A and B are shown apart, each in its own frame.
Chain A
């Protein structure tokens, strides 16, 4: 049974750096094809894909946020971190951690419950 859970600060100030941790169970990030991704959703708005880390340490980023994003994995701890620099109030959103299955297609079959991050001074 796959589970994912996000953790990190709920409130950050503008210009600060946000670091979120996804702790997962029920799968290995060493398995070929598997990935862990981050997706966010501003209040009342649509989903936005941010980044994904593959089993082989290949990393993909949203082009619009690439300069501010870093994704890292620690397979020994079953964790994936997401760092977003220079936070702005427009970055206020619920951030979801997701599982990308071993597949030739591009989708997310399991999601964490999400964590709301508010950017405010």
Chain B
């Protein structure tokens, strides 16, 4: 049972927009800790996709964007492409647990 809650799966047709939610609590996201997102392509290591809520590392397409509000955060993928088919994880820090915490992951399928 993950500390951060994500939908297990989402899907969309090429070109569509997909939004993945990440719900936390008052001891992590709601406490002001930043949210970060990772993309894990099949059989590979996770890759940082969004850091500090809405920042993209160099090389990440601007089709990916992040937002945070209250105890939740979201990752939006616009103009969905076949290469976006992957697992996506949100991550934050929990002050009660004193640990880095992850969501359970969302598998995005491109129809």
Contacts and interface: CB of A to CB of B under 8 A. Distances in A.
A34 to B, nearest CB: 15
Nearest to A111: B45
Interface stretch (B17-25, B46-54, B74-82): B46-54
B5 to A, nearest CB: 11
Contacts of B100: 37, 39, 49, 52, 106
A100 B46 CA distance: 14
A62 interface: yes
Contacts of A49: 99-102
A57 to B, nearest CB: 18
22 contacts: A37-B100, A39-B100, A46-B89, A46-B102, A46-B104, A47-B46, A48-B102, A49-B101, A60-B99, A63-B99, A103-B52, A105-B33, A105-B36, A106-B36, A107-B34, A107-B51, A108-B91, A109-B48, A111-B45, A111-B47, A113-B44, A113-B45
Contacts of A105: 33-34, 36, 51-52
Interface in A83-116: 96, 103, 105-114
Interface string B52-82: 1000010000000000000000000000000
A1 B48 CA distance: 15
Contact of A47 (B48, B98, B99, B105): B105
B33 A96 contact: no
Interface in A52-87: 52, 60, 62-63
